[in-house]
C-alpha cells in the first residue's frame, strides 16, 4: 500500500506527533503508515483522511499485487 500521508501532512504543517494526537494513535503508527508497512483499520484510515482534509482514496492507494 502506498500513502500520501507525509505529503498531505507537510502541506498542512503538521508533525507526525500532531497528526497522531489528532487521530488518537502513537507517533510510531504514523511512521509505519507513511512507510506503507502498516495497513490501517477502516476507522483509522477515515480519521487520517478527514484530518488531512482528503478522502481515503486520495490518501491510500493499493497496488495490484496487494489486491491479489
For residue 67, tell me if it sits in a domain.
Answer: no
Residue 7 lies in a domain: yes
Which three-class secondary structure state does DSSP give residue 24?
A: coil
Quote the pTM value: 0.88
Q: Is residue 68 part of a domain?
A: no
Pairwise CA distance, residues 67 & 19, whole Å: 28
Report the DSSP pairing between strands 2-3 and 60-61: antiparallel
Domain harbouring 13, CATH code? 1.10.260.40
Q: Is residue 64 part of a domain?
A: no
Range of the domain at 12: 2-59
pLDDT at 49: 98
Q: Is residue 16 part of a domain?
A: yes
What is the tally of structural domains in the chain?
Answer: 1
Note the pLDDT of residue 25: 98
Q: Tell me the pLDDT tens digit for each residue of 21-59.
A: 999 999 999 999 999 999 999 999 999 999 999 999 999
Question: Is 43 within a domain?
Answer: yes
Give the whole-angstrom CA distance, residue 55 versus residue 61: 11
Residue 66 has pLDDT above 60, yes or no: no
Amino acid at each position: 500500500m502506498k500513502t500520501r500521508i507525509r505529503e498531505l501532512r507537510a502541506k498542512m504543517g503538521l508533525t507526525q506527533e500532531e497528526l497522531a494526537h489528532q487521530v488518537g494513535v502513537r507517533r510510531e503508527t504514523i511512521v509505519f503508515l507513511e512507510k506503507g508497512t502498516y495497513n490501517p483499520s477502516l476507522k483509522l484510515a477515515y480519521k487520517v483522511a478527514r484530518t488531512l482534509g482528503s478522502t481515503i482514496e486520495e490518501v491510500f492507494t493499493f497496488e495490484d499485487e496487494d489486491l491479489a
